[in-house]
Amino acid sequence: MSGSTILEVNNISVVYSDVIQVLKGVSLMVERHSIVSLLGSNGAGKTTTLKAISGLLKPENGRVTDGMIIYHDEPIHNQVPEVITRRGIIQVLEGRQPFKYLTVEENLIVGTAIRWGKPYKKDLELIYHYFPALLERRKILAGYCSGGELQMLVMGRALMAKPELLLLDEPSLGLAPMVVDEIFQIIRKINEEQKTSILLVEQNANMALHISHYGYVMENGKIVMEGPARSIVENPDIREFYLGMSASGQSKSYKDVKSYRRRKRWL
Amino acid sequence: MKKFHFRPCGNYRETYGQELTVFETDFGRLWTWVGIFILFLILPFLGTPYFLHVLNMIGITSIAALGLNILIGFTGQISLGHGAFIGVGAYSAAVLSTTIGMPFLFNLPLAGLIAALVGMIFGIPSGRLKGLYLTIATLAGQIIIEYVLVHWESVTKGTMGITLPRPAIFGYELSTDRDFFFLIYVSLGLMIFIAINLMRSKFGRAFIAIRDNDRAAEGMGIPIFRYKLLSFGISSFYAGFAGAIWAYYMVSITAEPFNLGLSVEYIAMVIIGGLGSIAGSVYGALFITSLNEILRWLTDILMNMKVFTEAGVNVAPIREFFFGLAIIIFIIFEPRGLAEIWRIIRSGFRLWPFSY
Amino acid sequence: MSFFFQLLINGISLGFLYGLSAMGFVMIFKSSSVLNFAHGELIALGAFFFLALVTWAQLPIAIAFLVTLAGCFALGFLIERIFLRPLIGEPLIYVIMLTVGLAAMFKGLMLLIWGGNLQTYPDFLPGFLTLQWDILNIPPAYSAALILGVTFLTVFGLFFKYSPQGIFMRSVADNQKAALSLGVHVQRVFALSWAIAALVAGMSGVVLGIINGINVHDLSSIGLKVFPVVILGGLDSLSGAIIGGLIIGLLETFTGGYLDPSLRDVIPYLVLVLILMVRPYGLFGLVEIERV
């Protein structure tokens, strides 16, 4: 493993409840200080991959049955989240799960759980610097915040843990395009200024590839394509299947049976 | 010739009719008939009156447990007032027969209906309350009913209790344990029949929908309040019915047995038997009643062996201890109860030697 | 009039004790959404543990009290470890039923060891705790209850509102999965809340034992009285628990004093039903923020 890689997922299989196999040999790498995006359709196994890394599979009765997840040269698969988070990997869950009955600021304080007892005032200021919207609402119960504010809140909460690797699960889910834009700008900024490595799972492929350095595409529990973000954007298949344009830039026609065949080959 | 159905190796149902069958295979039907045959023609003529007495108690508790399982296991509303509803049934039967002289056969369903009414009154909070809050409301119901049973002396005769006349069906007086055996098990059979068919109907499906997600159920157009109330009503009807039989069988009743402990005992039955399983309710009743008897027997032996030196050591604490233990063990090791264990054993046999 | 004030004082002290017991209960509920039906048994266990330490082991009162608290803390911790941990992730009804099972088990055990008779502590409270105004006379046990009640309430209130550990505990109550994803030690939070609850329960058990004498049935039925208290206060509000406790305590003593002593034990539940009809989430409870 080269010195610049912090996370290496090596051919992992994940099985839920001992019967349902969701991942069938997924491998990926995250370089230090980079943004890596993981794309794919619904049910491809993106979220499961993230959970396998962060250890959150366990409460859902899932298990890594094969392969390895190596973080800083040490295997971390099938560890409990309490251990993995303390080593610097924090996952931001899909669908914004704030602590509804805690105020915004208290939500952020929960982010310091992995270094409980250490001062956190400066980190709070930093979070408010990145997400000024949160500062105005810091005394408000999180349950009463809007979707965009909540997304900022859960990201801020994760940043409070000062993660080395941040796993972001669909930050754009259900948000207005303007807000999505803002959030992605912040993600990029965090990556540049805090040197946080980010593994980003997205449906919004265009947006994700735009800010990331490297990309992976998943289908049916397997990685089917990988490459530098730019080369993925330019790949004709990706353009057609994920970005919704045909190779020539025109909207695609269902008469084109060939494309169907091409897609089948992928699966 | 009729084609026999064997258990298919997958889900090959093609019509709604097939989905609705009670017995998947003809063997199931056959075994049921064999079971009924043994139950009615062989069991009552075996063994001592004591054995029959235990069987009778199992039968009565099964009816009540069935009712509780409809409420908890199928509709998902946890009730801590079941013991009190049984008491309401028992007292209704007693009061009706001693004051108005209502005939026995009318008395049973009537007691059930009165209990159902009371149950529905205490089910009203279910319209606004969910889960834990509702459980607490039923706890309040239990304690209030208990208080009323003791203190409404003009009707319930307070702590004195009421003595019931011998029940008679068309002039035939039920006096022996065997007479009661037939009464109890015919009622139980009827109640199981009703429960199974109820659960296959629109009502049963609505109950299950409410259990699994009441908001979604409401969104699907199920009037959840009405159905929750109905579930409370049906459940308390079963309780009241069982209570009425119990009162006749015991001849005299006081308010004492219908306490919170009884409610807890019933919840234990339903959990040990298997939530959401009709057969499970019977298994649970069987298990708890037998456990009761075994513990009584054990303490007797220990008393004779002079392990307990104090005279009058109560069975109650030991019983309570083992109840608690049984509940805990089941919840930790097989939360789906005896019904699930039985299913596993059965499919183990069916699939042997290829256990997958 | 002096009768009235006497009832008032008794009601307030009793109320503080109810409130304190309820606080332990609320704590478990807040962190793990578990209704603890074994709470009354925890209260009784505290009382009996103290009794054993004072009479059998002949420890000095102060030390015995501290040992009782420590013992209850450890007990709560162990209960969580042994019985509740295997159930993490199971539906809530099983967890609640488990506490019902625990309640039956503890009760049986206590009855086997100590029997069902009423026992009393030796008299040990110092005389200066007896407060005297005019005709009004506050027995020492009641003033001790007041002092302990206020102290514990303040300490725990501050703990939950401001200390990070308190905030972590609330976060677990709120959204377990999210708390897990941020590295909150969820199991430690559960264990801690059980331990604190058992500690508070044991403490109120001791004080209740001083006031009313120690009896398994009486003390464990207080565990049920916690329900009207917490419903009044709202299941998830610590200060609500105290206020609910006060209301129920006053209600009980006044019904007992002016109406019918036998009504005393039912009146809280009648109030409970009324409250549930009018304000389903209690007087101080959080209205559920529910989004589909």
Question: Please, what's the b/e burial string for C19-49 (b: 16 or more CB within 10 A of its CB; e: otherwise)?
Answer: bbbbbbbbbbbbbbbbbbbbbbbbbbbbbbb
Query: How close does chain B come to C87, measured CA to CA in Å?
Result: 7
CA dist C122 → A8, B93, C52 (Å): 68, 50, 12
Question: Please, what's the b/e burial string for A97-128 (b: 16 or more CB within 10 A of its CB; e: otherwise)?
Answer: bbbbbbbbbbbbbbbbbbeeeeebeebbebbb
Across the range B197-226, mean pLDDT stands at 85
Alpha carbon distance B90, C222 (integer Å): 28
CB contact under 8 A, A113 and C168: yes
Nearest to C164 among A101, A112, A161 (CB): A112
pLDDT at B352: 66
Per-residue confidence band for B19, with pLDDT thresholds at 50, 70 and 90:
low
C-beta separation of B56 from B180 below 8 A: yes
Nearest to B215 among C104, C107, C292 (CB): C292
Pick the residue from chain C with its C-alpha nearest to B314.
C112
- B317 and chain C in contact, CB less than 8 A: yes
Q: What are B96-123's pLDDT values in tens digits? A: 888 887 788 888 899 999 999 999 988 8
- B215 and chain C in contact, CB less than 8 A: yes
CA dist A64 → A17, A23, A77, C189 (Å): 11, 9, 7, 27
The ipTM estimated for the assembled molecules is: 0.83
**Chain B meets chain C (3+ C-beta pairs below 8 A):** yes
CA dist C42 → B283, C49, C68, C231, C292 (Å): 32, 10, 12, 20, 38
H-helix or E-strand spanning residue C133 = strand C131-133
C-beta separation of B212 from B74 below 8 A: no
C42 phi/psi in degrees, rounded to 5? -65, -40
What residues of chain B lie within 8 A of the CB of C270, using their CB? 140, 144
Query: How close does chain C come to B34, measured CA to CA in Å?
Result: 35
Alpha carbon distance A238, A224 (integer Å): 11
Q: What are A144-188's pLDDT values in tens digits? A: 888 889 999 999 999 999 899 999 998 888 888 888 999 999 999
pLDDT at A165: 93
Q: What are B66-94's pLDDT values in tens digits? A: 999 999 889 888 888 899 999 999 999 98
Alpha carbon distance A165, A34 (integer Å): 10
Per-residue confidence band for B241, with pLDDT thresholds at 50, 70 and 90:
very high
Largest CA distance in chain A: 63
- B133 and chain C in contact, CB less than 8 A: yes
Helix axes A147-159, A121-130, angle to 10 degrees: 140
CB pairs under 8 A between B and C: 133
CB contact under 8 A, C276 and B137: yes
- Asked if pLDDT for residue C50 goes beyond 70, the answer is yes
CB contact under 8 A, C101 and B327: yes
C interface residues, A as partner, C-beta within 8 Å? 88-89, 164-165, 167-168, 170-171, 173-175, 177-186, 236, 286, 289
Per-residue confidence band for B311, with pLDDT thresholds at 50, 70 and 90:
very low
Alpha carbon distance C22, C268 (integer Å): 14
Query: How close does chain B come to C86, measured CA to CA in Å?
Result: 7
CB contact under 8 A, B314 and C93: no
Alpha carbon distance B275, B288 (integer Å): 15
CB contact under 8 A, B143 and C107: no
CA dist C15 → C149, C229, C253 (Å): 9, 9, 9
CB contact under 8 A, A93 and C165: no
The distance of Cα C266 from the centroid of its chain, to the nearest Å, equals 19
CB contact under 8 A, C183 and A113: yes
Alpha carbon distance C95, C223 (integer Å): 17
> Which residue ranges form the domains of chain A, and what is each CATH number?
5-234 (3.40.50.300), 235-267 (no CATH)
Query: Tokens 């001849």 belong to which residue?
Result: B251
pLDDT at C1: 67
CA proximity to B327, closest of C42, C99, C33: C99
CA dist A192 → A35, A183, B90 (Å): 10, 14, 76
What pairs with residue A40 in β-bridges? Answer: A218
Q: What are A35-59's pLDDT values in tens digits? A: 999 988 888 888 999 999 998 888 7
**How much is the pTM?**
0.77
* Sequential DSSP letters for C147-208: HHHHHHHHHHHHHHHHSHHHHHHHHHHH-HHHHHHTT--HHHHHHHHHHHHHHHHHHHHHHH
> Which residue ranges form the domains of chain C, and what is each CATH number?
2-116+135-278 (1.10.3470)
Nearest to A110 among C88, C184, C286 (CB): C184
A165 phi/psi in degrees, rounded to 5? -130, 125
Pick the residue from chain C with its C-alpha nearest to A118.
C164
Q: Which two three-digit tokens encode residue C18?
A: 């109810």
What residues of chain A lie within 8 A of the CB of C180, using their CB? 56, 59, 81-82
B32 phi/psi in degrees, rounded to 5? -60, -45
Per-residue confidence band for C230, with pLDDT thresholds at 50, 70 and 90:
confident
Q: Which two three-digit tokens encode residue B83?
A: 């013991």
pLDDT at B277: 86
> Which residue ranges form the domains of chain B, and what is each CATH number?
48-351 (1.10.3470)
- Residue C263 is given by DSSP the state G
What residues of chain C lie within 8 A of the CB of B147, using their CB? 265-266
What pairs with residue A66 in β-bridges? Answer: A13
H-helix or E-strand spanning residue B68 = helix B49-69
Q: Which two three-digit tokens encode residue A198?
A: 């980010």
A65 phi/psi in degrees, rounded to 5? -95, -20
What residues of chain B lie within 8 A of the CB of C33, using their CB? 132
CA proximity to B281, closest of B237, B339, B242: B339
- C211 and chain B in contact, CB less than 8 A: no
Beta strands, E only, chain B:
162-163, 168-169, 172-173, 252-253
CB contact under 8 A, C185 and A97: no
Sort C216 into a burial class: Cβ within 10 Å, 0-12 / 13-18 / 19+. Answer: buried
Alpha carbon distance C43, C106 (integer Å): 11
CB contact under 8 A, A82 and C185: yes
C-beta separation of B254 from B159 below 8 A: yes
- B264 and chain C in contact, CB less than 8 A: yes
Which amino acid, one-letter code, is at C218? Answer: D
Pick the residue from chain C with its C-alpha nearest to A95.
C178
- Residue A143 is given by DSSP the state G
Per-residue confidence band for C78, with pLDDT thresholds at 50, 70 and 90:
very high
CB contact under 8 A, B151 and C262: yes
Query: How close does chain A come to C97, measured CA to CA in Å?
Result: 21
C-beta separation of A123 from A112 below 8 A: yes
Alpha carbon distance C292, C286 (integer Å): 18
C-beta separation of B239 from B119 below 8 A: yes
Below-50 pLDDT ranges, chain A: 1, 247, 249, 267
* Neighbors of chain B by Cβ distance (3+ pairs < 8 Å): C
CB contact under 8 A, C177 and A56: yes
Alpha carbon distance A133, A2 (integer Å): 40
- C5 and chain B in contact, CB less than 8 A: no
A72-81, B11-20, B109-118, C161-170: segment of lowest average pLDDT = B11-20
C-beta separation of C190 from A82 below 8 A: no
Query: How close does chain C come to B16, measured CA to CA in Å?
Result: 31
pLDDT at B1: 46
C-beta separation of B56 from B184 below 8 A: yes
pLDDT at B210: 86
Alpha carbon distance A34, A39 (integer Å): 16
Per-residue confidence band for C151, with pLDDT thresholds at 50, 70 and 90:
confident
Across the range B190-217, mean pLDDT stands at 87
Per-residue confidence band for C292, with pLDDT thresholds at 50, 70 and 90:
very low
**Chain B meets chain A (3+ C-beta pairs below 8 A):** no
CA proximity to A58, closest of C187, C84, C28: C187
* Sequential DSSP letters for B306-318: TSS-STT--HHHH
CB contact under 8 A, B128 and C94: no
pLDDT at B84: 93
CB contact under 8 A, B268 and C100: yes
A interface residues, C as partner, C-beta within 8 Å? 54, 56, 59, 61, 81-82, 84-86, 90-93, 97-102, 106-107, 109-114, 116-117, 141, 143-144, 154, 157-158, 161
Dihedral of alpha carbons B54, B58, B59, B63, sign: positive
Cα Rg of chain A (Å, integer): 19
- B118 and chain C in contact, CB less than 8 A: no
